[in-house]
Amino acid sequence: MKRIGFLSFGHYQPVPGSQARTATDALLQTIDLAQAAEELGIDGAYVRVHHFAPQFASPFPLLAAMAARTSRIELGTGVIDMRYENPLYMAEEAAITDLISNGRLQLGISRGSPETALRGYEAFGYVLAEGSSDADDARARTAIFRAAISGEGMAPANPQMTGRTGLLAIAPQSPGLSERIWWGAGTRKTAKWVGEQGMNLMSSTLLTEDTGVPFGDLQAEQIAIYRQAWADAGHEGTPRVSVSRSILPIVSDLDRAYFGREAAAGSHDQVGHLDGGLARFGKSYVGEPSAIVDQLQTDAAVHDADTVLVTIPNQLGVDYNSHLLETIVQHIAPELGWR
């Protein structure tokens, strides 16, 4: 059975029509939406992380607040840019947040995407080592982070304080968190690496490569490569895979006012240049629920993934996004065999 979650980018801006005009609005509304989504039966509440932009940034205080207001729904990120992170401090924050949530944290991380700031991570105090790439740096930080949340020793003990020698692990530890780490992959090559590393796979509405095939087919190929790499590496258990989709059903006059023009125009994959190469952007699914069901039934990646994250227009507020999620749960999910 499919899990369904929402993914919020946390945009805020004082523009006409926005219900999230300030950072306070965006943060408090996301806490409220997580609670509303849990009541609707939605499985996950995820937030995107950006820096130097009017969007969500440091996610752990927000996730902890969401955890305190909910009891069942998964709470996650999609994704944290590891170039900006101190892996040990992040390991402590992640463990604390996971304990508050009683083991519901699903942490998506990656190298990140192009940001508004040029080499913004340098302003955070992180300068790439000579000869190291963004990807190298993010993966090195990730290796330290994963070791830390797995309980490995990170710092030498002070015998005068502890009465022993050896390496100390970070505290607290949250058992099981290490199995709930996801990597956001934009290419088939990266998906293979994720499978080899034994992390779950998170794939969004953007792939940083293009072979000319439809987005869903290219993403399904990525998923197949990932699962084969996982199996070849000998990892135990069944890995999880999520894909993100923009799903905007129209069942009311308000829906039509917001998205009717987009539905009439139709939506298709887009190909463009990003980060020095070709990228393929997935289309939006906009229209009557029955039409959206027909389109999603032909989306190979949606079929292959176990989790679908619906990207929401968070600036339209809690009430509207609750309505959007309820429409998906009532009129789209059952027709596709999702719970």
The DSSP bridge pattern shows strands 307-311 and 3-8 to be parallel
pLDDT value at residue 327:
98
Q: What pLDDT sits at residue 1?
A: 66
pLDDT given at position 56 = 96
Which pLDDT belongs to residue 21?
98
Q: Please give the structure tokens belonging to residue 28.
A: 């408090």
Residue ranges in the chain assigned as alpha helix (H): 23-40, 60-69, 87-100, 120-123, 134-149, 159-162, 188-197, 215-233, 253-265, 289-296, 300-304, 317-327
Tokens of 147: 């070791």
Say how far apart CA 123 and CA 121 lie, in whole Å: 5
Model confidence pLDDT, tens digit, residues 146-183: 999 999 999 999 999 999 999 999 999 999 999 999 99
Q: Which is nearest to 47 in space by CA: 32, 33, 63, 61?
A: 63
Closest CA to 239 of 175, 182, 174: 182
H and E: helices and strands count for the chain: 12, 14
Residues near 275 by Cβ (< 8 Å), separated by ≥ 6?
Answer: 113, 114, 208
Beta bridge partners of 170: none
The pTM for the full model equals 0.95
pLDDT in tens, the chain (339 residues): 689 999 999 999 999 999 999 999 999 999 999 999 999 999 999 999 999 999 999 999 999 999 999 999 999 999 999 999 999 999 999 999 999 999 999 999 999 887 899 999 999 999 999 999 999 999 999 999 999 999 999 999 999 999 999 999 999 999 999 999 999 999 999 999 999 999 999 998 888 888 889 999 999 999 999 999 999 999 999 999 999 999 999 999 999 999 999 998 888 888 877 766 778 888 999 999 999 999 999 999 999 999 999 999 999 999 999 999 999 999 999 998 887
Instruction: Report the SS3 class of residue 254.
Output: helix
Asked if residues 60 and 52 have their Cβ atoms less than 8 Å apart, the reply is no
**Contact, 84 vs 124, CB < 8 A?**
yes
Q: What is the C-alpha to C-alpha distance for residues 112 and 209, in angstroms, rounded to an integer?
A: 15
